[in-house]
């Protein structure tokens, strides 16, 4: 733990007994200058506003909002009406699509598109830019939702407690936007949903917070190593098929630079000066932030402004980043003998004769015959997804 700077008067106390090896200075209730308290008298503590503990409420609200959006999505999906086979039919219209179509226990891709999934074609050609935000509040299935919400509670609770709901809320939303932006530049054919970009933003912010507030950590290198291992494992999972690792990387980079801007803390010397007893001044005035903190703050603001501006301009111009980076697709999926990275959307040709619906999948050539009278577009899309999977 960093040592407290020496001064001629009483010092600000530091409480280092907390998780994640972060220390929190608190100042003391100071007696009047005319009657200083004896050295043996106990100190009375109150929180310094820069290090106070916040009441956590926004992260639980985010979790509830994501769960509610999933319930609404399943209600709209209405599998019994739009598909022949469903899982957990006792749930009625909340039952899930077949495993072959959606192994995550969730809705169909057409329903996700209807609810606001990220579709590059709609963003570029139909000017539906809000999809960059709405996709962060949708999930592909129960497994997807549970994994993200548990991660959000574990990571977000600590950050909101330390830095408050305003900074963490902005960090979460902007990181999610950064993840969607990078994803849309590389994922041109498939839709994308999930809060993973925002979650990786919180992980990135934890790393930059450790760097910019380096001196207040007790076990610096241990905390850094642990955090890097967690980040590496999560990014490694992203190379599996059907996982949008570009959203993870974009969210992580956005959160990393946002952490230098939002999660900066003043140095202990300045805290001691500001909250020390009146009449006692240190021999040398201390600036609020260290030089390297200010440099990182300025550089991060510039990088964020330039990065988001360039990314949005490229997206709105319909740029396919894969054409400018022939190897970048390996960042999201690495093909092996066990799986393929080709995940083209399902397209089918259809014809209706009486109650017979005939479908042909354009990607694999499979044919299917179904008994449907006046099948709707959503029903055809659901059957097509099963046929092509």
Residues 6+ apart with CB under 8 A from 240: 333, 339
Q: Which of 248, 300, 332, 385 is an active site residue? A: 248
Helix 245-262, helix 165-186: angle, nearest 10: 150
Strand partners, 367: 360
- Structure tokens given for 149: 């919400």
Interatomic CA distance for residues 97 and 82, integer angstroms: 10
- Structure tokens given for 336: 């092996």
Q: What angle do CA 337, 341, 345 make, to 5 degrees?
A: 140
Element (H, E) at 348: strand 348-353
Q: How many CB atoms lie within 10 A of CB 263?
A: 21
Q: What is the dihedral of CA 220, 225, 227, 231, to 10 degrees?
A: 150
Confirm whether 127 is a catalytic residue. no
Interatomic CA distance for residues 47 and 44, integer angstroms: 10
Placement of tokens 């905390």 in the chain: 223
Q: Which of 83, 184, 192, 196 is an active site residue? A: 196
How big is the chain by its Cα radius of gyration, in Å?
Answer: 26
Confirm whether 144 is a catalytic residue. no
Residues with a catalytic annotation lie at 196, 248
């Amino acid at each position: 733990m960093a040592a407290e700077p020496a001064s001629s008067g009483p010092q600000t106390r530091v409480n280092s007994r907390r998780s994640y090896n972060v220390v929190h200075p608190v100042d003391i209730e100071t007696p009047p200058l005319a009657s200083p308290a004896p050295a043996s008298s106990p100190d009375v503590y109150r929180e310094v506003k820069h290090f106070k503990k916040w009441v956590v409420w926004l992260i639980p609200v985010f979790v509830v909002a994501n769960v509610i959006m999933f319930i609404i999505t399943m209600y709209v999906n209405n599998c019994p009406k739009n598909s022949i086979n469903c899982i957990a039919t006792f749930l009625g219209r909340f039952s899930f699509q077949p495993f072959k179509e959606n192994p995550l226990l969730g809705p169909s891709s057409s329903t996700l598109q209807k609810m606001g999934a990220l579709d590059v074609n709609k963003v570029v050609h139909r000017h539906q830019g809000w999809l960059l935000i709405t996709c962060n509040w949708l999930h592909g299935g129960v497994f997807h939702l549970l994994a993200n919400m548990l991660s959000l509670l574990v990571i977000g609770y600590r950050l909101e407690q330390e830095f408050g709901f305003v900074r963490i809320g902005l960090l979460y939303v902007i990181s999610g936007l950064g993840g969607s932006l990078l994803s849309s530049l590389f994922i041109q054919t498939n839709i994308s949903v999930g809060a993973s970009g925002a979650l990786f933003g919180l992980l990135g912010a934890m790393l930059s917070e450790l760097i910019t507030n380096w001196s207040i950590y007790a076990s610096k290198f241990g905390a850094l190593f642990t955090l890097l291992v967690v980040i590496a494992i999560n990014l490694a999972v992203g190379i599996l098929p059907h996982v949008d690792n570009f959203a993870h990387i974009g969210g992580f980079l956005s959160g990393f630079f946002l952490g230098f801007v939002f999660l900066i803390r003043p140095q202990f010397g300045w805290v001691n000066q500001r909250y020390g007893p009146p009449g006692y001044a240190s021999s040398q005035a201390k600036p609020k932030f260290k030089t390297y903190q200010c440099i990182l703050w300025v550089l991060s603001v510039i990088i964020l402004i330039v990065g988001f501006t360039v990314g949005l301009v490229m997206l709105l111009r319909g740029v396919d980043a894969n054409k400018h980076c022939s190897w970048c697709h390996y960042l999201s999926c690495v093909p092996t003998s066990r799986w393929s990275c080709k995940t083209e959307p399902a397209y089918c040709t259809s014809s209706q004769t009486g109650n017979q619906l005939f479908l042909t999948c354009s990607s694999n050539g499979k044919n299917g015959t179904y008994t449907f009278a006046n099948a709707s577009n959503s029903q055809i899309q659901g059957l097509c997804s099963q046929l092509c999977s």
